[in-house]
């Protein structure tokens, strides 16, 4: 019974911490005026950490196009007005990285008209990285170390979903959004891989990851009665470490990427399956010159 309660708690912690043919990118550009001065966080009533990845400068001097690449937490809370707004942004594909239990707990129902294709896998989240023993004994340092050690593991566990995301982007299926539950861990790694593939410097990738601390309303998440019950007995500092976007977490994943033979491009080639020609194509599709 105690093990079942621990698993329930950790499954809830990670989310906290944690149509027809698609138009090509060339036909999916959003007018600059519609971007409201390029808002990083989308102005949604029920969005969770829903952000535009545009505007980041790559190593070659180009910048990521606005209005094509989005990262998010669960879209369960989106309102009718939010759906209309997102349909106006022309999102054609959503890569939902959540497991089957998370999707069942927080279902998302896009309006039928102009609904995006939603891509997901049926799997059970592997929580073996969590601290061992009684949750009452979890420490902040132990929780932080566990989170950092989980990120390299997630690179492997979600490789198939990350590869599929890149396949969609190379096919020009954008605007595209990808999400998990909090928009921090699985989504944070996806964003880091994508920005790295686009040639965005490592320091900028980390800065984007840390924006979750600014844009994710963690207090509202942990105030949920069901969540409070699941977290009962876990020291507050341990919970805080799991909810936070700590630089050591994403750096642990980036270490794997950059320490691969051939560096980041070698990792992208060998692990994600993108050739040098694919990288050139990806950058031509999603980078531009002359605008921030």
At residue 132, the pLDDT reads 75
At 78, is the pLDDT very low, low, confident or very high (cuts 50, 70, 90)?
A: very high
Separation of alpha carbons 291 and 256, rounded Å? 32
Name residue 63's beta-bridge partners: 57, 288
At residue 219, the pLDDT reads 74
- Which residue reads 């007018």 in tokens? 31
Residue 286: pLDDT over 90: yes
In the chain, what are the domains? 2-288 (3.90.190.10)
Mean pLDDT across 225-252: 84
pLDDT tens readout for residues 84-119? 999 999 999 999 999 999 999 899 999 988 899 999
pLDDT tens readout for residues 61-71? 999 999 999 99
Mean pLDDT across 66-78: 97
Residue 268: pLDDT over 50: yes
Q: Is residue 117 left, alpha or beta, with left meaning phi > 0 and alpha meaning psi from -120 to 50?
A: beta
Pairing of strands 93-96, 176-179: parallel
Please name which of 185, 191, 197 lies closest in space to residue 69, comparing C-alpha atoms. 191
Name residue 176's beta-bridge partners: 69, 93
pLDDT tens readout for residues 190-210? 999 999 999 999 999 999 999
Separation of alpha carbons 50 and 222, rounded Å? 19
Residue 28: pLDDT over 50: no
Separation of alpha carbons 197 and 195, rounded Å? 5
pTM: 0.86
């Amino acid at each position: 019974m105690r093990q079942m309660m621990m698993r329930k708690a950790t499954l809830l912690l990670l989310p906290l911490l944690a149509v027809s043919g698609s138009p090509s990118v060339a036909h999916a550009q959003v007018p600059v005026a519609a971007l409201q001065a390029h808002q990083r966080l989308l102005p949604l009533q029920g969005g969770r950490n829903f952000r535009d990845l545009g505007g980041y400068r790559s190593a070659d001097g180009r910048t990521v196009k606005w209005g094509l690449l989005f990262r998010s937490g669960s879209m369960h809370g989106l309102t009718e007005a939010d759906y209309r707004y997102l349909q106006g942004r022309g999102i054609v594909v959503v890569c939902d990285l959540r497991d089957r239990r998370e999707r069942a707990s927080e279902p998302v129902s896009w309006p039928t008209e102009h609904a995006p294709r939603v891509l997901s896998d049926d799997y059970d989240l592997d929580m073996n990285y969590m601290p061992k023993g009684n949750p009452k004994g979890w420490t902040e340092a132990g929780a932080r170390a566990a989170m950092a050690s989980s990120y390299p593991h997630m690179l492997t566990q979600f490789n198939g979903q990350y590869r599929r995301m890149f396949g969609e982007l190379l096919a020009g299926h954008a605007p595209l959004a990808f999400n998990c539950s909090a928009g921090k861990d699985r989504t944070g790694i996806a964003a880091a891989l994508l920005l790295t593939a686009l040639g965005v410097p490592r320091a900028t990738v980390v800065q984007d990851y840390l924006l979750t601390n600014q844009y994710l309303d963690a207090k509202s998440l942990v105030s949920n009665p069901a969540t409070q019950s699941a977290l009962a007995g876990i020291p507050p500092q341990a919970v805080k470490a799991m909810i936070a976007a700590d630089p050591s977490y994403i750096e642990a994943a980036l270490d794997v990427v950059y320490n691969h033979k051939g560096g980041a491009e070698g990792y992208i080639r060998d692990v994600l399956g993108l050739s040098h020609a694919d990288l050139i194509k990806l950058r031509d599709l999603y980078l531009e010159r002359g605008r921030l």
